[in-house]
């Protein structure tokens, strides 16, 4: 979970710089790989250049998302544009899945129809790609940027290329030493499975955020129990809603309490509890002194028999 400073201007500037450098490295090496593939006649290098083209597009989307997320909130978009980073992460995850499907399909085709590969040139280009991807991955993973879902999405794309470069180096060495070309599609399928696992996890996280799901790091039942046990004034916690907006957890809740001597002090303690125990800095708390008749919250509001005072 991101901390409260993960979207500060200085951190966003750093994330933008990391994404731009990684984007530049990816584009430069993609052009080099296209040239190497055309000169050697290697379909494998040209296919990997296509992979890097998709990566460059994903990095560009990530850059644009970070840029637009800086727009200030207004009366129409009260959370600003923070959700764009989540949408970009979802598109990146989908692109990773599509890339993986293409790689596996191409690997199966090449296993049955082996293609001639210029092993020496393939080794040189693959090794250069490994170095380029290592630099890009280090840039994206350094510092607090790895807590940002959008930067992690871009890093996953680069990770896919890095693993692909390792596989290409291994395949090139085997081809040079033995001439056995089926090693290329075999290693491609193995790398694709690793990338698919990461892409699936990223897709689940971004979809959960878009569907207003609670972050997995917070157990709401535990939060209710802990608040009731640590604060004697708290009798019941209900109507709890927790979701994520651009890596920031947002919560609303109703808290039934014994009438306190100092209302503001108790409210301050509740906010302090949420921030320090569960890292929830943005919470709207409604305190109630009388028992609520209905502790179930129906956001569909189709029954028409719910009390108008139940704000969500």
CATH label of the domain that carries residue 47: 1.20.1510.10
Residue 310 lies in a domain: no
Q: How high is the pLDDT of residue 202?
A: 80
Range name among 174-183, 247-256, 293-302 with the lowest pLDDT average: 293-302
- 48 and 104 fall within a common domain: yes
- 159 and 60 fall within a common domain: yes
Tally of structural domains, the chain: 2
Token pair in block for residue 77: 């978009």
- 121 and 266 fall within a common domain: no
Cα distance between residue 119 and residue 195, in whole Å: 25
Rounded average pLDDT over 91-97: 82
- Cβ–Cβ < 8 Å for 46, 179: no
Rg (CA), the chain: 25
Length of the chain: 312
Mean pLDDT of the chain: 76
Residue 103 lies in a domain: yes
- 93 and 112 fall within a common domain: yes
pTM over 0.75, yes/no: no
- 173 and 260 fall within a common domain: no
Residue 182 lies in a domain: yes
Domain boundary among 179, 210, 241: 210
- 81 and 191 fall within a common domain: yes
- 41 and 171 fall within a common domain: yes
- 77 and 127 fall within a common domain: yes
Residue 93 lies in a domain: yes
Q: Give the percent of the chain with pLDDT over 90.
A: 4
Residue 135 lies in a domain: yes
Cα distance between residue 8 and residue 227, in whole Å: 29
What is the residue range of 90's domain?
A: 9-210
Residue 303 lies in a domain: no
Does pLDDT of 307 surpass 60? no
Domain boundary among 210, 230, 248: 210
- Residues 284, 297, 204, CA angle at the centre, nearest 5°? 75
- 67 and 148 fall within a common domain: yes
Domain boundary among 165, 180, 210: 210
Residue 30 lies in a domain: yes
Place of tokens 């992460």: 89
- The DSSP string of the chain is ---TTTTSHHHHHHHHHHHHHHHHHHHHHHHHHHHHHHHHT-HHHHHHHHHHHHHHHHHHHHHHHHHHTTSPP-SSSTTTTTHHHHHHHHHHHHHHHHHHHHHHHHHHHHHHS-----HHHHHHHHHHHHHHHHHHHHHHHSGGGGGSHHHHHHHHHHHHHHHHHHHHHHHHHHHHHH--TTHHHHHHHHHHHHHHHHHHHHHHHHHHHHTTPPPTT--HHHHHHHHHHH-TTEEEEEEEEEEEETTEEEEEEEEEE---S-HHHHHHHHHHHHHHHH---EEEEEEESS--S-----TT--SS-S-TT---
Cβ atoms within 10 Å, residue 114? 12
Residue 1 lies in a domain: no
pLDDT in tens, 255-299: 988 887 788 888 999 999 998 888 888 898 988 887 655 555 666
- 54 and 147 fall within a common domain: yes
- 142 and 191 fall within a common domain: yes
Q: Domain with 272 in it: what CATH number?
A: 3.30.70.1350
- C-alpha of 173 from chain center: 35
Output 23 or 103, whichever has higher pLDDT.
23
- Residues 244, 255, 242, CA angle at the centre, nearest 5°? 10
Does pLDDT of 36 surpass 50? yes
- 68 and 126 fall within a common domain: yes
Rounded average pLDDT over 59-85: 74
Place of tokens 């028409």: 304
């Amino acid at each position: 979970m991101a901390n409260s400073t993960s979207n500060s201007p200085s951190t966003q500037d750093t994330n933008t710089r990391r994404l731009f450098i990684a984007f530049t490295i990816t584009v430069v090496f993609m052009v080099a790989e296209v040239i190497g593939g055309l000169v050697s006649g290697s379909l494998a290098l040209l296919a990997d250049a296509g992979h890097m083209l998709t990566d460059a597009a994903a990095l560009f989307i990530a850059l644009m998302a970070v840029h637009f997320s800086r727009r200030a909130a207004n009366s129409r978009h009260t959370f600003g544009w923070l959700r764009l980073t989540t949408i970009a992460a979802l598109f990146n995850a989908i692109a990773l899945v599509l890339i993986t499907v293409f790689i596996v399909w191409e690997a199966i085709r090449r296993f049955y129809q082996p293609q001639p590969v210029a092993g020496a040139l393939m080794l040189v280009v693959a090794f250069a790609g490994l170095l380029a991807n290592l630099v890009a991955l280090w840039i994206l993973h350094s510092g607090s940027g790895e807590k940002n879902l959008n930067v992690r999405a871009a890093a996953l794309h680069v990770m896919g290329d890095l693993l692909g470069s390792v596989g290409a180096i291994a395949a090139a060495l085997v081809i040079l030493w033995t001439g056995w070309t089926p090693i290329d599609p075999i290693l491609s399928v193995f790398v694709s499975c690793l990338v698919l696992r990461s892409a699936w996890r990223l897709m689940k996280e971004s979809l959960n955020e878009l569907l207003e799901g609670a972050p997995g790091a917070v157990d709401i039942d535990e939060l209710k129990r802990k608040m009731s046990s640590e604060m004697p004034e708290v009798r019941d916690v209900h109507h709890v809603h927790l979701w994520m907006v651009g890596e920031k957890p947002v919560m609303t809740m109703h808290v039934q309490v014994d009438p306190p001597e100092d209302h503001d002090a108790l409210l301050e303690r509740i906010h302090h509890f949420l921030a320090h125990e569960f890292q929830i800095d943005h919470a709207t708390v409604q305190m109630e002194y009388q028992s609520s008749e209905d502790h179930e919250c129906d956001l569909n509001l189709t029954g028409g028999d719910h009390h108008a005072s139940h704000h969500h």
